[in-house]
Structure 1
Amino acid sequence: MAERLVSRRLRQVLRVDVVLINLLAWGFALVWLLPFIGLFMVSVRPYGEVIVKGWWNIVDATFTMDNYIKAWSYDPYSVSGGYINSLIVALPATVIPVTAASFAAYGFSRFSFPLKSYLFLVTILLMALPQQIVVVPLFLLLKNLGLINTFPGIILVHSAWGMAWIIFFMKNFFDILPREVEEAARVDGASDFRIFYKIVLPMSLPGILSASVLQFTWVWSSFFFELIFLIDPSKWVITQRIANMKGTYLVDWGLIAAGSVFAMAVPLAVYMLLQRYYIRGFVGWAAKG
């Protein structure tokens, strides 16, 4: 009888704990989502109505898509043009560093060579450098190479900047992969490159896609490097165009909010499409720890 009472009491306590944990989680989620809800509400309502009533007041609210239509073709800083330029920068600035860093990370994970530990330590330390420290030498370097105000220049900057963290990320992912298959292939006469290309890469797809999603999102959302290295307005990416949608005497927050929603849509769509691999990549990466 006593055991039943104790068991019932424990179930009640656990039930209360579960309810409290869920309430706390939903509370944090609501606080985190509140700015995005406000941004969306501003983007679908007229400017004057938001200024007078506030975005949170939906009594007699007027919903419209005018801000999105205006932002898409806003002259001279249209979102449509920003989409094209951002894709021109973000796609190669994702493929190049992920590809190069995967080779480097595999070398750090599988091979021994002089100063290996020190080189990897330097790679990790490079992750701590803020962009503001390197922007002047990078500007002078790109100027000497004739790459200022060019897409190849900004692509190289983002590719180099992303190499350090991708090497660190992929090296840890390669460390958890079973080595027995590679050793069997090596016994059969397969070269190191063939083992990497035919065996390691297919097994590493979740990690590679996870790194690609993060790199693409960071490049797409970048503003500082573009502000310094892209001068011609016709080459401005979407983040630069949104920043310049404000008028001289009036800031149309509805227009800027619509442009911001457009900017968020692409990384969100990429994440949703690759969500399964993205989560598997992080779960596998974290398993080593």
Structure 2
Amino acid sequence: MAVEHNIEPLSHAQNTVNTSMTSSWFSHSSDLLIQYSINIFLALCILLVGTFLVKFIHKGVVNLLETKSVDSAVVQFISSFIRYALLVMVFIAALNSIGVAMTGVIAVLASASLAVGLALKGSLSNFASGVLIVLFRPFKSKDFIEVGKVSGTVQAIEIFHTVLTTGDNKMVAIPNRLVMSQPIVNFSKHKIRRINFEIRVSYDADLQKTKQVLAGVLKSEERILSLPAPTIGVLALANSSINIAVRPWVKSEEYWKVYYDTLQAIKEELDKEGIQIPFPQMDIHIK
């Protein structure tokens, strides 16, 4: 009976210890849950507030650059770069608030930088080429350019692409590295351009009269500039025609309008004067 009497107090004490440990575990778990909840809530607040601030700063940068008369294509490139950089900083701050050690994140990023660099080699090249475009400015927004076999009006210089709108209103996004690795023809760089006509007339035509007719057409077109003076001269004695070079100068923005109207006027005036424009002919003899 004495042994049985001694066992009961021991069992009671053990139950007391277990209850205390369970209570302590629940208390600790509750504290951790509250702490993590607070950290997650703080991270969400940082993301929300940070995203709002990034938008505000982005808009402020755009307005500042526009007041400085910076080209709109350059404005878009710079503002996009700043926006993405700030978003990365906000994301890192949110991770830090949760308790993720930044030294570990930086170490992981450093160790993965080589692999990421190799995987994103083309993208990094496009970004670097975009920086070169912004620095050297071979063209600006609204310029009409030709890159390789693509021509169009520059709409934007983005981080990885240059966006053009073609003459038939198609959007073309050209990787920046391809833009910088090919010849760029900028048709809008200078205020005036020269139209290159090559008019072919018959060998029977009076060359002096023909040149006078062509000079009269150019003089009657008010949009053709007097300085530099137009050039008219015999370009080549071809197989079936005499080729005459007609080189008037016009304002760049009026190039195509003057081109179409002047070419039509030349044809009409040559017909009036009886000056023949030769065309390919074939004689068939049947026996």
TM-score band, normalised by shorter chain? under 0.3
Whose helix proportion is higher, 1 or 2? 1
Query: Which of 1 and 2 has greater Rg?
Result: 2
TM-score by length of 2: 0.24
Pick the structure with more strand per residue: 2
Q: Which structure is richer in relative contact order (CA contacts within 8 A, separation 6 or more)?
A: 1
